[in-house]
Chains A and B, each alone.
Chain A
Amino acid sequence: MANALDFLFHLASASILIYFLLINSFYLLFIVLSFFGIFRYQRMTSYVRMKEIFSLPLAKPISIIVPAYNEEPNILESVGSLLALEYPLYEVIVVNDGSTDSTLEKLITAFDLKKTYRIFRKVIATAPVCGIYVSPKEPKLVVVDKANGKKADAMNAGLNIARYPLFCAIDADSILDRDALLKVVRPFHEDPEKTVGVGGVVRLSNGCVIKGGQIHKIGMPRNTLARFQILEYLRAFLGGRMGMSMLNCLLIISGAFGLFRKDIALKIGGYRRAAIGEDMDLVVRLRRHLHEQKIPYRIAFIPDPICWTEAPENVRGLSRQRNRWQRGLVEVLTQNLKMMFNPRYGMTGMLGMPFYLIFEMLSPLIELLGYIMFAYFVATGRIDYPFAVKFFLLAIVYGMLLSLAAILLEEYSVQRYPRLADIVVIAAYGILENIIYRQWLNIIRVKAFWDLLRGNNEWGTMEKKGFAQERDRP
């Protein structure tokens, strides 16, 4: 019996080692591909004047949809920033999703909104719309007031009202660079038939100084959790998503900033109302639909257009966010199991979906198993301490290597951190994240499985600090 148990533990140890090797190899592969992607993008866009898009007669107009739930601290700054974007023709639709704070009142006062009698086609069923407001001051702005129905429902309400053929999903706590739309729309002009979705880079606004709805000065946040997240975002967007896009298996376009074709999104019923991770859910369903209909398509990621968003700075907010992300991931993957390892779905089925299942969804469970094994070997006195220490160090240093590669990608692509000290700080947090932070996140992600089994599909809220507070910093 003891021998069998021992054998099982050794087998599990070997499996974990192989898993460790594979996961890091994939991450490294994505980073290498990202380097190629970023270099190519930069060279291909040299001497291109983005403002030329202004003069294009067939430039596609865009509806920006901003779902807002209790966004009182940020909403004016965010809407102000969206109204100041450089783009020939666009509208900003803010969907107040039954906020319990004064989000709507602030908008009404600031933009002198008037209730209008606007008729729209209810292509997708949503919670009741209580009123549509327009602003005589800002003709581009439309504010929809509706009963609470969560983010996906608010996006669908925005889709029903949107007038233009492309829609851009933006979080209400996000700020876009002034030329972000001009940059993100390029694939739609280059290949209008095939391109159905384009994602851009999302960066953290924590620590930045914001003036007039634009990032005025980029800085490092003082909050430790925000610093950890800066590195995570760099790895995820510049490393992971760019690499996956190169292999045509990108499954997530962040809900904070993504541009899509409205007709195709409506064809698949818009956002799934019950979805926990509505952004990934939309992209996977789009891919599934287009593969099943045998329609050639392209979902791209562009390393240049930047969206700035506020990251949670407290343990509660971050744990809720990560718990929701993990539940969203599990939900999307389990609902689309048919696509897994299915050549009918191309690279999405053969690489994207399996990668997310094995290396993203299951990774917290496997990491937990690793910790249990470690405890078992310590308890039974059979631990090879030199080996364990070296392996632990290898894991840290390898993680550090990936973080450094992501920093280098940032340096090559946009180089937004002006101070050398910022780079050193980010790199240092690449080491520090391996102590406590990583284990804590792992526990949260494991707990997400338990929450999902219990039927918890709450969205969770994040305390908003507000962009304005950053202004007061010295």
Chain B
Amino acid sequence: MHDPAAVLVSHSLVFVAVFSTSLFAFIILRRLIIRRRDAHFRTMYLRIEQDVLRAISAEDDQTAIEVALKYKSQRKILTRVLIDFLETISGRGQDILKVIFDYALRERCLKDLHSPFLARRLQATRLAGLLSVPPEKALLVALLKDKAIIRLAAVNALVQFADQESLALVFRAFEQEACPHIHTYANIIFGAGEKVEPFVKIFLKKNLPVEKLSLLIELAGTIPLPSLYPDVVDYASHPDKEVRTRLAKALGKFLVPKSYKILEKMANDKEWEVQAQALKALGNLKNPKALGLLMRGLFSPSWHIRYNAREGLLNLGPPGIRRLEDVAKQKADRFASDMAIMALDDISHSQVS
């Protein structure tokens, strides 16, 4: 009778050897096939690229339709060409690309929006966002109930339309979205620019969680939307320090002169984060009245406050720089003089460069 271990090892050896040999053969064959496929891709890509370029130059929908119909069967290559062109052209040229998309790829793209496979749905959503036209909006809205990654792609696609209806949908999705993804929303919404102002205004009045509220305030500052000053200013006394910190940051970008009073108050906030942002914002306002507060900040025990006070003084220009020179000379507070010396040192280097 055979030893079972020996039998197991023998059979395993044969199986693994056959499997390994097949795998090796598969790798080599696959490489050869891919090489041929790549060569075909390159040739076709160049051919399609030339024809698309011809359609763009002609600025004629008929030529675009001809190109679309000619390469309808080369879906992947045509998609690649269109996406690559999108990165480099704008205006009427983009409309021609959309016509080609409409006649060659749209049908399949719409079908894929309902695919049971997540990756296919995702690709179709992104494509719709890049190349699609308003009729797809309804389909994209339906995707706002899909998985998180699809929802974000759909929001991104809707923002491309940038009309009031699409933006309303995007903001509604933002309201309903779980917090981990809201930063991504903010990044996407930013793309729509000042068009989002009425929505930010409405949503600032809603009872949003702190994370969303502070993000909206920051977004208002980043775009920036200074007309929202009256809508955000009341949050200076919000109980959450995150909201107050972002407000100080936004006010530093709005550059509304009357925000000085609010920022002056915030520079005396009980939280160092709020104080630090308020000092930086005061510097951005370039109001010489802030000199006293900024000087006090430079002597703060908190590194962050000293650092932002330094930034504020630098932003104030010559009066601020003169104060920094005075502080650099004094010996009573080494931390303040170090910070001032560093600021002056940085200016001298930037002047060299």
**A residues bordering B, Cβ < 8 Å?**
17, 40, 43-44, 46-49, 51, 55-59, 114, 116-119, 121, 134, 136-137, 139, 189-194, 384, 386-387, 390-391, 393-394, 397-398, 400-401, 404-405, 407-408, 411, 415, 420, 423-424, 427
Contacts and interface: CB of A to CB of B under 8 A. Distances in A.
A137 B23 CA distance: 52
B90 interface: no
Interface string B7-38: 00110110011011001101110111010000
B6 A119 contact: no
Contacts of B24: 404, 427
Interface string B236-272: 0000000000000000000000000000000000000
A134 B349 CA distance: 8
Kindly name the residue among B12, B13, B119, B303 whose own CB sees the greatest number of chain A CB atoms within 10 A. Answer: B13
B16 A387 contact: no
Contacts of A43: 119-120, 122-123
Nearest to B83: A47
Contact of B186 (A57, A139, A387, A405): A57
Interface string B185-227: 0110011000000000000000000000000001100110000
Contact of A404 (B13, B27, B149, B339): B27
Given A119-B342, A386-B6, A411-B30, A397 B352 contact: no
B28 A194 contact: no
B50 interface: no
B106 interface: no
A57 B123 contact: no
Contact of A117 (B6, B9, B345): B345
A58 to B, nearest CB: 5
Contact of A387 (B9, B122, B187, B345): B9
A420 B13 contact: no
Contact of A44 (B3, B119, B187): B119
A117 B342 contact: yes
Given A387-B5, A391-B9, A397-B16, A116 B23 contact: no
B197 to A, nearest CB: 15
A48 to B, nearest CB: 7
A136 B6 contact: no
A44 B149 contact: yes
Contacts of A137: 353
Given A387-B3, A391-B9, A401 B353 contact: no
Interface of B: 3, 5-6, 9-10, 12-13, 16-17, 19-20, 23-24, 26-28, 30-32, 34, 79, 83, 87, 119-120, 122-123, 126-127, 130, 149, 179-181, 183-184, 186-187, 190-191, 218-219, 222-223, 303, 338-339, 341-342, 345-346, 349-350, 352-353
Contact of A47 (B6, B123, B186): B123
A258 B346 CA distance: 30
Closest 9 interchain pairs by CB?
A: A43-B119, A136-B353, A47-B126, A117-B345, A56-B187, A136-B352, A57-B190, A57-B222, A401-B20
A119 B16 contact: no
A401 B16 contact: yes
A191 to B, nearest CB: 5
A117 B346 CA distance: 8
Given A411-B31, A420-B31, A139 B353 contact: yes
A124 B34 CA distance: 52
Given A51-B87, A420-B32, 7 more contacts: A46-B126, A119-B338, A139-B353, A189-B184, A394-B9, A394-B13, A397-B13
Contacts of B6: 384, 386-387, 390
A189 B187 contact: yes
B349 A116 contact: yes
Contact of B187 (A57, A119, A121, A423): A57
Nearest to A390: B9
A415 B34 CA distance: 11
9 contacts: A57-B187, A116-B346, A189-B183, A189-B187, A191-B180, A194-B180, A404-B20, A408-B23, A411-B31
Contacts of B149: 44, 190
Contact of A408 (B27, B179, B346): B27
Nearest to A391: B9
B222 A423 contact: no
A407 B27 contact: yes
Nearest to B221: A57
Contacts of A415: 34
Contacts of B20: 397, 400-401, 404
Nearest to A393: B13
A49 B156 CA distance: 12
Contacts of A393: 13
Given A190-B184, A390-B13, A118 B345 contact: yes
B290 to A, nearest CB: 22
B256 to A, nearest CB: 20
Given A58-B186, A394-B9, A420-B31, A47 B349 contact: no
Contacts of A384: 3, 6
Nearest to B304: A121
B210 to A, nearest CB: 13
Nearest to A296: B180
A218 B16 CA distance: 31
Identify which of A47, A51, A191 gathers the most chain B CB atoms within 10 Å of its CB: A47
B119 A420 contact: no
A121 B303 contact: yes
B19 A401 contact: yes
Contacts of A189: 183-184, 187
B215 to A, nearest CB: 8
Given A40-B119, A397-B13, A405 B349 contact: no
A317 to B, nearest CB: 31
A384 B23 CA distance: 31
A415 B38 CA distance: 13
A423 B31 CA distance: 10
B345 A49 contact: no
A398 B120 CA distance: 35
Nearest to A14: B5
A123 B149 CA distance: 37
A49 B7 CA distance: 54
Nearest to B35: A420
Contacts of B3: 384, 387
B33 to A, nearest CB: 11
Contacts of A44: 119, 122, 149
A153 B149 CA distance: 39
B23 A48 contact: no
A390 B16 CA distance: 12
Nearest to A53: B187
A89 to B, nearest CB: 14
